[in-house]
Structure 1
Amino acid sequence: MFSFKAAVTLAVLAMLVVAAHCGFGEGTNSYNYDLSKMSELRKLYNSKVYLCDRMTRPLSGMSIQIGKLSHSGVRVTLEDGTKWLVHKGDGYGISSQTVVVHARHMSNTWKIIETKDFGGSKTVSDFVKAGGTDYSLIFDNCHDASGRMMGG
Structure 2
Amino acid sequence: MSFKTALGLLLLAMVSMVAESSWGNGKGNSYNYDLSKMSDLTKLYNSKVYKAERMTRPLEGMSFQLGKLSHSGVRVTLADGTKWLVHKGDGYGISSQTVVVAARHMSNNWKIVEIKDFRGSKTVSDFVKAGGTDYKLLFDNCHDAAGRMMDS
TM-score normalised to the size of structure 1? 0.92
What aligned pairs does 1:28-47 form with structure 2 within 5 A after superposition?
28-47=28-47
Tell me which amino acid in the other structure corresponds to 1:107. Answer: S
Q: What is the percent sequence identity of the aligned residues?
A: 74
What aligned pairs does 1:16-95 form with structure 2 within 5 A after superposition?
16-21=16-21, 22-25=23-26, 28-95=28-95
In structure 2, what is the Cα distance between the partners aligned to 1:136 and 1:23?
20
Shift of 1:32: 1.2
What SS is found at the alignment partner of 2:20?
Answer: coil
Shift of 1:55: 0.1
What SS is found at the alignment partner of 1:100?
Answer: strand
In structure 2, what is the Cα distance between the partners aligned to 1:86 and 1:9?
16
Stretch deviating more after TM superposition (79-88 or 11-20): 11-20
Q: Kindly tell me: are residues 109 and 144 of structure 1, through their superposed partners in 2, closer, same or farther at Cα, counting changes over 3 Å?
A: same
Stretch deviating more after TM superposition (137-146 or 3-12): 3-12
Measured against aligned partners, the alpha-carbon deviations of 1:108-144 in whole angstroms (never above 9, x if no partner) come to: 0000000000000000000000000000001100000
In structure 1, what is the Cα distance between the partners aligned to 2:143 and 2:72?
6
In structure 1, what is the Cα distance between the partners aligned to 2:31 and 2:113?
28
CA RMSD in angstroms, aligned pairs only? 1.6
Residues 1:123 and 2:99 are matched in the alignment:
no
TM-score normalised to the size of structure 2? 0.92
Which segments of structure 1 move beyond 3 Å, counting only runs of 4 or more?
A: 2-5
Name whichever structure is richer in helix by fraction: 2
How many residue pairs get aligned? The number is 150
Query: Partner of 2:12 in structure 1?
Result: 12
Measured against aligned partners, the alpha-carbon deviations of 1:25-56 in whole angstroms (never above 9, x if no partner) come to: 2x742211100000000000100000000000
Shift of 1:8: 4.1
Tell me which amino acid in the other structure corresponds to 2:130. Answer: A
Tell me which amino acid in the other structure corresponds to 2:25. Answer: F
Query: Partner of 1:96 in structure 2?
Result: 96
Q: Kindly tell me: are residues 28 and 90 of structure 1, through their superposed partners in 2, closer, same or farther at Cα, counting changes over 3 Å?
A: farther
In structure 2, what is the Cα distance between the partners aligned to 1:88 and 1:38?
22
Structure 1 runs not aligned, ≥5 long: none
In structure 1, what is the Cα distance between the partners aligned to 2:25 and 2:49?
26
